Structure 1
């Protein structure tokens, strides 16, 4: 049966990351958004927590803990409570690392995983989203044509996090067009590879502190060994579902922060001689925000529980991500409403959370558990 009681290890992770988010991330949230950059020392201290290295076995120079999606969700929720952009930046390498750990060959694991266990943070990117209004993860236009011992990659990607700062990126491309999810493969491609072109940094409405880029591939040739799983290929839907779980947790964490801020404001803001939170309209808003956040969290936890037990979880992960995306928009919109005119002012963090929340409908493949 599903247990709602966290293990001692999970409680420790939750407390440690929550403390880091409150002490290190929250104080620089606004400045990072305004300046479109994240202090290097914050990323360095976050990397010291060992959140990614902790799920990599000792044989690949990790800390030897078993990969747990549920533990990952707990950590991501706390990171996003601090700031979504910083959480995404810190855990961006997880897409490449966990894809290799989950489905890579033994040679790929030995070659790539030790990088994510080093003391210093090293960026790694992932390229899934494409710049088309009808983008669909099961019908990618980026192609991977097999020619002998090589694959030739052609296509366009957008919203590629840390592309310019990364040495390697995990690129998702259709090797068998028309086959849906089963026709998509993942390739580990060095950014410096001939045929890879990283464009200028994108100017986004939200997650402004996280650098994202358009990336184009023109006759980019990579060895067959660059394909995750090599001859067997990868289970793309499983990897995508792991990413959707992570995004759901991030939405929950950010929304929880918006709820807490709105609730505190409603108890302190006095209008006509009483706190505005004592009025039924405001109180019902706050109650509905709390209900939706808890519902989204439980959907994600159920999917993670199934994933950790090697059960089918793809449907549950999709439900969790879609529900959490809608929930985040609703919660942050209500936060702006509760603040009244002050909610529209840049000095108030609810406008930042509102901008960030809008992206969850478009985010895919940014992070993984």
Structure 2
């Protein structure tokens, strides 16, 4: 049976992350968007939370017993509740750490997992390709087997970076030998890796993300995640779908609660606008959507932790979240009226950010 009550440890993590999300992420969200920069103090505080090492076993430099998608879902929602740009940056290393814990060889785990506790280390996934027909199962980026390892060529978009420091990419490519999508550990400093100019979109102004070109990048055979056997990419995509749905739930919850509070305090014709039937109905539907998003996400995460086939549940959670986070954010703007269109009010930013969920695959992983 699925339990709807977090454990004592999970509740403590949720309370801690929610406090951080409100007091720091939410407070700095507007300034970060306008300056297109996440403050170093915010990122340092996020590092102190230890969210990534908490999912890494002690023998590999972490302080957790093991990885839990459900626990990751709980704190991902709280991060999305604070600020999406900051949340994606904070969770980016998990998109590499989680696959390493789940599928890495002993050598790969010993080499890379301890680095996630280092302040100067950053990691991110390179999955999405800048093509109109992008399909994770039919990637254009290729990995050609050679006597010494692999030669990788292709281009990836929406790759999150952390300035110029040490960075590890988990690059997804079509293994030409097996004809399947596999993952490869590639250092940013490898010859043939070119990080393009920082991209700009309609949202996520504070997040650094780029198009990265891999031009005949040579990597050893040991760089293939999971060794010769490779990885179950479908399961990794499910982790990403669940993580993305959790972030969307957090953003939708923030939009709903902000609109609800505004409607309670904003008066028209002598009474709070929340008492008008049209506004009350919108708020009720927004609440239903948030709760539905959360339950679908929890179910998919629970199935992942039980080693069940979670593909259907993960796809349903993400598809529902993609649609309804946009609807909830749009209605928040509608409830605020003219104020909802002003940049000083966060719902304007949240509506722009909500659009990214249906446009980009594999935003985050838990």
Fold shared by both chains (TM-score > 0.5):
yes
In structure 2, what is the Cα distance between the partners aligned to 1:47 and 1:265? 33
**Runs of 4+ in structure 1 over 6 Å off:** none
Tell me the secondary structure at the aligned position of residue 197 of structure 2: coil
Indicate the residue corresponding to 2:204 in structure 1: 207
Q: 1:11 to 1:242 in 2, by over 3 A?
A: same
Is 1:157 the counterpart of 2:156? The answer is yes
**How many angstroms apart in 2 are the aligned matches of 1:252 and 1:214?**
27
Structure 1 residue 185 displacement after superposition: 0.5
Structure-2 residue corresponding to 1:58: 58
Deviation by residue 1:206-254 (Cα, 9 ceiling, x = unmatched) = 1111100001111111111101011001111111110110000000001
Change (3 A) 1:163 1:45: closer
User: Deviation digits for residues 17-57 of structure 1, max 9, x if unmatched?
Assistant: 01111122111010001111100111111111111101111
Report the counterpart of residue 364 of structure 1 in structure 2. 361
Contact preservation (8 Å) 1:92, 1:367: yes
Whether the 8 Å contact between 2:242 and 2:318 is mirrored in structure 1 is yes
Alpha-carbon distance in structure 1 between the residues aligned to 2:302 and 2:98: 17
Match of 2:267 among 264, 267, 270: 270
Once the two structures are overlaid, the 10-residue window that deviates more, 61-70 or 225-234, is: 61-70
TM-score for the superposition, normalised by structure 2: 0.97
Task: Tell me the secondary structure at the aligned position of residue 124 of structure 1.
Answer: strand
Q: 1:123-179: CA deviations, max 9, x gaps?
A: 212111111122111211111111123211111111101165452111000114995
**Pick from 246, 250, 253: which aligns with 2:243?**
246
* Separation of aligned partners in 2, 1:302 and 1:16: 23
What's the counterpart of residue 74 of structure 2? 74
The reply on whether 1:103 has 2:65 as its aligned counterpart is: no
CA distances 1:32-86 after superposition (whole Å, capped 9, x unpaired):
0111110011111111111110111111111032211111011011111110110
CA RMSD in angstroms comes to 1.3
Query: Partner of 2:86 in structure 1?
Result: 86
Matches within 5 A, 1:299-338: 299-338=296-335
1:280 maps to 2:273: no
Separation of aligned partners in 2, 1:61 and 1:187 = 22
Once residues 52 and 226 of structure 1 are traced to their aligned partners in structure 2, the CA distance between those partners, rounded to angstroms, is: 22
SS in structure 2 at match of 1:311: coil
State which of 178, 187, 192 in structure 1 corresponds to 2:189.
192
Partner of 2:217: 220
Structure-2 residue corresponding to 1:146 = 145
State the TM-score, normalized to the length of structure 1: 0.96
**1:227 and 1:164 mapped to 2: Cα distance?**
25
Q: Determine if the alignment matches structure 1 residue 233 to structure 2 residue 230.
A: yes
Instruction: Provide the residue aligned with 1:135 in structure 2.
Output: 134
Q: Give the match's secondary structure for 1:158.
A: strand
Aligned to 2:294: 297
Q: Which residue of 1 aligns with 2:27?
A: 27
- The Cα of 1:14 is off from its aligned counterpart by 0.6
C-alpha separation in 1, matches of 2:360 and 2:63 = 30
SS in 2 for 1:221: strand
Per the alignment, in what secondary structure is the counterpart of residue 347 of structure 1?
coil
Does the 8 A contact of 2:25 with 2:83 survive in 1? yes
How far did residue 121 of structure 1 move? 5.4
| Unaligned residue ranges in structure 1 (runs of 5+) | none
